[in-house]
Chains A and B, each alone.
Chain A
């Protein structure tokens, strides 16, 4: 079994690991670096739970080899908050209930993070399209869309869209 000593830039830190080359980035993050925020739901690239950013682009860590990541910036969900301060997306996901069981959330957040960095004003359709590789079974995605929109508005420093409150009636 071929092992390699690799230096991975993870969340801004240089992390040295000695790993078999056939271990995926998902395995190395979770099992060697203890970054269990990155989840897995299929390990075949079919669900998006393991999404991380490599050089700012969301990719499936279950289908990524660490040996191909040297010299590239890897961001996991643990790297989104800065100095204990939640990122705008983390804040809105939390406020709007966009995380139900929380299991798809790290992958969703990273995909959304790449989107809001790339596009200052993503439309609902842009968001739907960008998140189309991240499956969620709890939310029906709608709260996630709203959370991305709200975070994006805050990042632009614009007035926030009015919260969508449901109609409540006495029965």
Chain B
């Protein structure tokens, strides 16, 4: 039986509590902001009041002599740039010559307490020469002479791409029907409940430790080593438990470097805790994206070609922006049959906080556009949108037009289940006026196929140690941001070694102690650390079984391991406890320990830019949303959401449903109310009161359905669930609104005034910026000889 088909699992698949649940409910889980150390000093950042300004000079002399101030810091003391992507090393811990958005940090102070540090900031004198504030894509494109960020392609264009896969114009000529639509997805913030915090300690041994609320300690490690010009061996990064991440803590941040440098300057540990307003400036949230899509269709609804254009408002720095840009074009093709595909995209710098990855990274925006577009062309052709989706989902193993390799695909099952459970067919076009139902499908990565910086190393490493008392410690660089990745490690190792999750101590996210895992982003952790943990655990399992076999004098094949016991299948009364077995194994093989790792399969595609989009396997989701809209006010109330998700296999259905419900929640916030907006050069609403996050009274009932496709690439067949389920909900809301009121709103958030405008014929669809995309790169199809589903090249496959 293939691994993923196993049915003899005793821990995997059970609705167990998280291993850190008790720590959470007793308030004992330690977040970075909870840390304190002897002689702890506090840092505060001075931020630019101007959206765009040349820094003529910074005078910290008065701040430096304020009683209680320990050190000051300006950008010229940290001249080496950094950034998450190797192609976007465009940030400085503190701005040196230019402040690029209102809120860009320009100086820092360390003092004996936070209040003193705050008071000292007021004494720092910065001489600014104000530059034009380019707050919109149009403004930025109109002023190529006034460059916000020199790291771009030209003018204020950060990055532009154009690819044609299979000659879309030919496809359009074959079409019976053409449809074009334009959409806009407003930017928004992750709004993790925990404000970013970091503590740095440069110790007397000359080594630096940084505790931080980060999802990516490994990348912070690299950035710190680079900027501080220290050997990585002398730097230790500990990612504390994150109070939510959602992608907002995946960049290395200036404040992390600042506290490290201030600790070096003061010889004391230094702590910083951002305020909520500062979190809005740190941002890296959802890019505002305008999108244009044109699709050619046969009368029966088959797509002949699709042309998709995006324009991203990137903010002032690169961050993940190049990847974000590619993601706005990468995954349209992995859901439904699109034989010819063209993608053009541009990311533009503006004088706003940098955008980056938020749950779904670059894909919720085009998914919103695509799924609304589908309902509209179905409307044109008189086809039921549910039937269209069911008929046009990809077959398993499809290599898409843009050369993304689909493996298992549970999209049809997801659609089928939400259609039936929501009674979509009965309700659509049949509910009373003002009530409507909408549907959408989607896909997401189970981990990025390539690392952020090029290397041939494992993406995830796990180390396991077994002690003589039967205790097991699992070491892994992965970071628990609340999704439960520490628990997944415990479940997997417990399953493999036949013990209970409680017997396992999990040590994660500490660059001194744990093997590298690339971090909690791109929904990679369960799949990659799960596989790495299986790989490591199987080696130990082999030693344990062999030692037990010798003792019991039975062949290894006859032994079973579960519930802390190893026994002879033929005579279950003959067995050993796990602890006894551990002692025997140590006597036989020496100190027990093993390592395992995971590296994703090599992507099929070879075109330049194809590094963004491939994944070991894709997860799929479908949502149906029922809502009621008020024709008089334009107010929309979500009545219920049905969400089905292709999880591959639910390692813990409790945690999976938690991710589904949380995704629905965040999606509804984005669909109806969340927006990061600016006025007069400033963030208009940098607070939790004015930035609208749905409350308990705004959350509808949700029915969750888990679809298990048992993917050969996933641990026990598992895929991701943290991000994908957000995607279909947003377009399903817009589609439901059309069913309710007969009007389209082409953008999110769908606010009451937009609904009212649409009802009154005043709504104006978004316009694409006036911009000429670069010359199109025509990508040749892969050689037909290429295998449809390349074999997995993972360490795990080798171990099997």
- The answer to A–B direct touch (Cβ < 8 A) is yes
Cα(A24)–Cα(B241), bound, Å: 25
* Binary contact track B509-548/A, C-beta < 8 Å → 1, others 0: 0000000000000000000000000000000000000000
State the Cβ distance, B128 to closest chain A Cβ, in Å: 28
The closest CB in chain A to the CB of B195 belongs to A41
Are B696 and A171 in contact (CB-based, < 8 A)? no
Are A99 and B194 in contact (CB-based, < 8 A)? no
Are A139 and B665 in contact (CB-based, < 8 A)? yes
Q: Which of B242, B410, B664, B695 contacts A101 (CB 8 A)?
A: B242
Are A132 and B709 in contact (CB-based, < 8 A)? no
Are A102 and B665 in contact (CB-based, < 8 A)? no
Are A167 and B658 in contact (CB-based, < 8 A)? no
Cα(A144)–Cα(B481), bound, Å: 18
Are B244 and A101 in contact (CB-based, < 8 A)? yes
Cα(A101)–Cα(B194), bound, Å: 9
Are A134 and B276 in contact (CB-based, < 8 A)? no
Are A168 and B27 in contact (CB-based, < 8 A)? no
If the complex has contacts A140-B665, A171-B412, are A105 and B696 also in contact, measured as CB distance less than 8 A? no
If the complex has contacts A103-B193, A165-B653, are A137 and B244 also in contact, measured as CB distance less than 8 A? yes
Q: Which of A34, A78, A136, A166 contacts B706 (CB 8 A)?
A: A166
Kindly list chain A residues whose C-beta atoms are within 8 Å of the C-beta of B412: 171
State the Cβ distance, B751 to closest chain A Cβ, in Å: 20
B607 at the A interface (CB under 8 A): no
Cα(A39)–Cα(B27), bound, Å: 9
A143 at the B interface (CB under 8 A): yes
* Binary contact track B675-708/A, C-beta < 8 Å → 1, others 0: 0000000000001110001011101011011111
Are A137 and B191 in contact (CB-based, < 8 A)? yes
Cα(A43)–Cα(B114), bound, Å: 14
The closest CB in chain B to the CB of A100 belongs to B482
Kindly list chain A residues whose C-beta atoms are within 8 Å of the C-beta of B276: 41-44, 46-47
* Binary contact track A97-117/B, C-beta < 8 Å → 1, others 0: 101111111100100000000
Kindly list chain B residues whose C-beta atoms are within 8 Å of the C-beta of A41: 193-195, 243, 276, 688
Are A96 and B654 in contact (CB-based, < 8 A)? yes
Complex interface residues of chain B between 171 and 210 (CB less than 8 A to chain A):
190-195
Complex interface residues of chain B between 464 and 486 (CB less than 8 A to chain A):
481-484
Complex interface residues of chain A between 116 and 171 (CB less than 8 A to chain B):
127-129, 131-145, 163, 165-171
Q: Which of B191, B275, B662 contacts A100 (CB 8 A)?
A: B662
Cα(A101)–Cα(B239), bound, Å: 14
Are B661 and A139 in contact (CB-based, < 8 A)? yes
Please tell me the size bucket of the interface on A: 35 or more
Kindly list chain B residues whose C-beta atoms are within 8 Å of the C-beta of A128: 696-697, 699
If the complex has contacts A76-B27, A102-B20, A138-B244, are A167 and B192 also in contact, measured as CB distance less than 8 A? no
Are A171 and B666 in contact (CB-based, < 8 A)? no
Are B17 and A94 in contact (CB-based, < 8 A)? yes
Cα(A135)–Cα(B664), bound, Å: 15
State the Cβ distance, B118 to closest chain A Cβ, in Å: 13
Are A43 and B275 in contact (CB-based, < 8 A)? yes
Cα(A81)–Cα(B22), bound, Å: 11
Are A99 and B699 in contact (CB-based, < 8 A)? no
A56 at the B interface (CB under 8 A): no
Are A166 and B704 in contact (CB-based, < 8 A)? yes
Kindly list chain B residues whose C-beta atoms are within 8 Å of the C-beta of A89: 25
How many residue pairs between the two chains, A and B, have CB atoms under 8 Å in the bound complex?
A: 218
Cα(A131)–Cα(B650), bound, Å: 30
Are A94 and B696 in contact (CB-based, < 8 A)? no
Q: Which of B650, B696, B710 contacts A132 (CB 8 A)?
A: B696
Are A135 and B688 in contact (CB-based, < 8 A)? yes
Kindly list chain B residues whose C-beta atoms are within 8 Å of the C-beta of A99: 18, 21, 24-25
Cα(A100)–Cα(B195), bound, Å: 16
B257 at the A interface (CB under 8 A): no
The closest CB in chain A to the CB of B483 belongs to A100
Q: Which of A46, A129, A138 contacts B697 (CB 8 A)?
A: A129
The closest CB in chain B to the CB of A142 belongs to B661
List the one stretch of B28-36, B99-107, B582-590 in contact with chain A: B28-36
Are B708 and A44 in contact (CB-based, < 8 A)? no
* Binary contact track B432-466/A, C-beta < 8 Å → 1, others 0: 00000000000000000000000000000000000
Are A101 and B481 in contact (CB-based, < 8 A)? yes
Residue among B27, B666, B704 with the most chain A CB within 10 A?
Answer: B27
Are B662 and A94 in contact (CB-based, < 8 A)? no
Kindly list chain B residues whose C-beta atoms are within 8 Å of the C-beta of A77: 25-27
The closest CB in chain B to the CB of A49 belongs to B193
State the Cβ distance, A31 to closest chain B Cβ, in Å: 8
State the Cβ distance, B559 to closest chain A Cβ, in Å: 30
B739 at the A interface (CB under 8 A): no
Kindly list chain A residues whose C-beta atoms are within 8 Å of the C-beta of B26: 37, 77-78, 80-81, 86, 90
Cα(A101)–Cα(B487), bound, Å: 12
Are B688 and A102 in contact (CB-based, < 8 A)? no
Kindly list chain A residues whose C-beta atoms are within 8 Å of the C-beta of B710: 170
The closest CB in chain A to the CB of B654 belongs to A97
B260 at the A interface (CB under 8 A): no
Are A36 and B25 in contact (CB-based, < 8 A)? no
Q: Which of A86, A142, A168 contacts B699 (CB 8 A)?
A: A142
If the complex has contacts A94-B17, A134-B696, A140-B702, are A106 and B27 also in contact, measured as CB distance less than 8 A? yes
Q: Which of A132, A141, A170 contacts B665 (CB 8 A)?
A: A141
The closest CB in chain A to the CB of B194 belongs to A103
Q: Which 6 A-B pairs have the closest CB atoms?
A: A37-B27, A101-B482, A171-B410, A103-B243, A140-B665, A102-B24
Given contacts A139-B661, A141-B665, 15 further A-B contacts (CB under 8 A): A41-B195, A97-B654, A99-B21, A101-B194, A101-B242, A129-B696, A136-B193, A137-B665, A137-B666, A140-B662, A143-B661, A169-B706, A170-B709, A171-B412, A171-B413
Q: Would you list 13 pairs from A and B whose C-beta atoms are within 8 A, ordered by A residue?
A: A36-B33, A37-B27, A40-B33, A42-B687, A43-B275, A44-B689, A101-B192, A101-B481, A143-B657, A143-B661, A163-B15, A166-B657, A170-B709
- Chain A positions near chain B (C-beta within 8 angstroms): 30, 34-44, 46-47, 49, 76-78, 80-81, 86, 89-91, 93-97, 99-106, 109, 127-129, 131-145, 163, 165-171
- Chain B positions near chain A (C-beta within 8 angstroms): 15, 17-18, 20-31, 33-34, 36, 190-195, 241-246, 275-276, 408-410, 412-414, 417, 421, 481-484, 620, 646, 650, 653-658, 661-666, 687-689, 693, 695-697, 699, 701-702, 704-710
